[in-house]
Amino acid sequence: MLVFLMLSKPRNSIRTRSPPTPPPAWGDEPNLNEELDFFVKGNISLEKSARKKPHPWIPDQGWEDLVKFGEVCNSLGDVPGMVERDGAKWKAWAEEDDPESRPVPGGLEDKMGDFQKLCLLKCFRVDRVYRGVTNYVTSQMGEKYVTPPVVTFE
């Protein structure tokens, strides 16, 4: 029945609809798949990046992920370079008890979407990604999607 209704509509009415806009939390639309791929996999290259880790407090894999993040989210500028130049600010942010709830250094807070912030969090604090994902889902979909159901045995 639904197929019949769709086929009976004039084609112009189907084509004139504007495509849905991406959620504001995502970055640039062409990078959606790349950002999601980065979040799931990180930097899986077997080769080390040409850029050397500038600060000892950054985890080795975190630096490799950060370099990859800079390539994927190039609209934000040279994020690894920002970390190299302002290491003290980035260290303070990364060592916060809840960096996922704090503004990102380097003036990036206004430039990046929530999902990009989640990807950046993964580079510095893998242990806080679970809480970051919870915050992301809550802000995008609502509290009901992260609240466990109440089960009563009566």
Residue 83 confidence (pLDDT): 94
Please give the pLDDT value at position 2. Answer: 31
Question: Pick from 146, 145, 100: which is nearest to 122 by CA?
Answer: 100
pLDDT, average across residues 52-57: 92
- Backbone φ and ψ for 75, nearest 5 degrees, come out as -70, -15
The pLDDT confidence band at residue 90, using thresholds 50, 70 and 90, is: very high
Examine the pLDDT at 133 and tell me if it is beyond 90. yes
Q: Is the pLDDT of residue 9 over 60?
A: no
Average confidence (pLDDT) over 74-85: 90
108/12: higher pLDDT: 108
Q: Residue 13: is its pLDDT beyond 70?
A: no
What is the per-residue pLDDT for 122? 94
Burial-class residue 44 by CB neighbours within 10 Å (0-12, 13-18, 19+).
exposed
Q: Can you tell me the distance from the alpha carbon of 146 to that of 128, in angstroms, rounded to the nearest whole number? A: 16
Percent of the chain with pLDDT over 90: 45
3 or 71, which is more confident?
A: 71
Nearest residue to 116 via CA among 76, 148, 56 = 76
